[in-house]
Structure 1
Amino acid sequence: MVRGRISRLSVRDVRFPTSLAGHGSDAMHTDPDYSAAYVIIETDAQDGLQGCGITFTLGKGTEVVVCAVKALAHHVLNKDLGDIVGDFRGFYRQITSDGQLRWIGPEKGAVHLATAAVLNALWDLWAKQEGKPLWKLLVDMDPKVLVSCMDFRYISDALTEQEAYEMLQKGRVGSREREAQMLAQGYPAYTTSCAWLGYADDALKQLCSRALQDGWTRFKVKVGADLQDDIRRCRLIRDMIGPEKTLMVDANQRWDVPEAVEWMVKLAEFKPLWIEEPTSPDDILGHATISKALAPLGIGVATGEQCHNRVMFKQLLQAKALQFLQIDSCRLGSVNESLSVLLMAHKFGIPVCPHAGGLGLCELVQHLIIFDYIAVSASLENRMCEYVDHLHEHFKYPVLIQKASYMPPKDAGYSTEMKESSVKEHQFPDGAVWKKLLAGQEN
Structure 2
Amino acid sequence: MATTKVTGYNVKDIRFPTSLEKDGSDAMNTAPDYSAPYLTLKTDSHLEGHGITFTLGKGNKIVCHAIDVLVKMVIGKKLSDIYSNFGSFWRTLTSEDQMRWLGPEKGVMHLAVAAIINALWDLWAKMEGKPLWKLLVDMEPEQLVSTIDFRYMADALTKDEALAILKSMQAGKKERESEVISKGVPAYTTTVGWLGYSDEKLRRLCKEALAGGWTKFKAKVGADLKDDIRRLTIIREEIGPDNILLVDANQRWEVQESIDWMKELAKFKITWIEEPTSPDDILGHGEIAKALNPLGIGVATGEACQNRVMFKQFLKSHALQYCQIDSCRLGGVNENLAVILMAKKYNVPVCPHGGGVGLCELIQHLATFDLIAVSGNLESRMVEFADHLSEHFINPCVVKNGHYVVPQAIGYSMDMKESSLQDHEYPTGKVWQKLIADGICIADDV
TM over 0.5: yes
8 Å Cα contact 2:6-2:42 kept in structure 1: yes
> Are residue 389 (structure 1) and residue 395 (structure 2) matched?
no
Matches within 5 A, 1:257-296: 257-296=255-294
Match of 1:59 among 54, 57, 60: 57
The residue identity in structure 2 corresponding to 1:27 is A
Matches within 5 A, 1:186-265: 186-265=184-263
Aligned position for 2:367: 369
Aligned position for 2:24: 24
Q: After alignment, is 165-174 or 273-282 more displaced?
A: 165-174
1:181 CA drift (Å)? 0.8
The residue identity in structure 2 corresponding to 1:155 is M
Matches within 5 A, 1:108-257: 108-257=106-255
Unaligned runs of 5+ in 2: 442-446
3-state SS of paired residue (1:193):
strand
8 Å Cα contact 2:212-2:400 kept in structure 1: no
1:172 CA drift (Å)? 1.0
For this pair of structures, how many residues does the alignment match?
Answer: 441
Aligned position for 1:41: 41
1:224 CA drift (Å)? 0.1
1: CA distance between counterparts of 2:179 and 2:376?
11
8 Å Cα contact 1:304-1:327 kept in structure 2: yes
Aligned position for 2:80: 82
Q: What CA deviation, in whole Å up to 9, does each residue of 1:5-35 have, x standing for no partner? A: 1101111100000000000000000001111
2: CA distance between counterparts of 1:194 and 1:398?
20
Q: Structure 1's 165 and 394: CA in aligned 2 closer, same or farther, altered over 3 A?
A: same
TM-score by length of 1: 0.98
1:3 CA drift (Å)? 4.7
8 Å Cα contact 1:7-1:43 kept in structure 2: yes
Two-structure CA RMSD over aligned residues (Å): 0.9
3-state SS of paired residue (2:191):
coil
1:313 CA drift (Å)? 0.2
1:99 CA drift (Å)? 1.1
Which ranges of 4 or more aligned residues in structure 1 deviate by more than 2 Å? none
8 Å Cα contact 1:2-1:129 kept in structure 2: no
1:396 CA drift (Å)? 0.8
8 Å Cα contact 1:42-1:49 kept in structure 2: yes
Matches within 5 A, 1:85-100: 85-100=83-98
Match of 2:350 among 352, 360, 374: 352
The residue identity in structure 2 corresponding to 1:284 is I
The residue identity in structure 1 corresponding to 2:21 is A
The residue identity in structure 1 corresponding to 2:238 is M
1:403 CA drift (Å)? 1.2
Q: What CA deviation, in whole Å up to 9, does each residue of 1:17-64 have, x standing for no partner? A: 00000000000000011110000001112xx11100000111110000
3-state SS of paired residue (1:58):
coil
8 Å Cα contact 1:190-1:385 kept in structure 2: yes
Aligned position for 1:300: 298
Q: After alignment, is 127-136 or 171-180 more displaced?
A: 171-180
**Kindly, what percent of the aligned residue pairs are identical?**
59
Q: Structure 1's 180 and 3: CA in aligned 2 closer, same or farther, altered over 3 A?
A: farther
The residue identity in structure 1 corresponding to 2:15 is R
2: CA distance between counterparts of 1:55 and 1:21?
22
The residue identity in structure 2 corresponding to 1:41 is L
1: CA distance between counterparts of 2:192 and 2:415?
27
2: CA distance between counterparts of 1:237 and 1:77?
51
Aligned position for 1:325: 323
2: CA distance between counterparts of 1:183 and 1:293?
38
The residue identity in structure 2 corresponding to 1:257 is V
Matches within 5 A, 1:310-321: 310-321=308-319
3-state SS of paired residue (1:194):
strand
Q: What CA deviation, in whole Å up to 9, does each residue of 1:111-160 have, x standing for no partner? A: 00000000000000000000000000000001000000000000111000
Q: Structure 1's 418 and 442: CA in aligned 2 closer, same or farther, altered over 3 A?
A: closer
1:295 CA drift (Å)? 1.2
8 Å Cα contact 1:197-1:223 kept in structure 2: yes
1: CA distance between counterparts of 2:57 and 2:184?
32
2: CA distance between counterparts of 1:316 and 1:41?
34
2: CA distance between counterparts of 1:100 and 1:70?
16
Unaligned runs of 5+ in 1: none
Aligned position for 1:342: 340
8 Å Cα contact 1:2-1:130 kept in structure 2: no
The residue identity in structure 2 corresponding to 1:165 is L
Q: Structure 1's 125 and 3: CA in aligned 2 closer, same or farther, altered over 3 A?
A: farther
Aligned position for 2:444: none
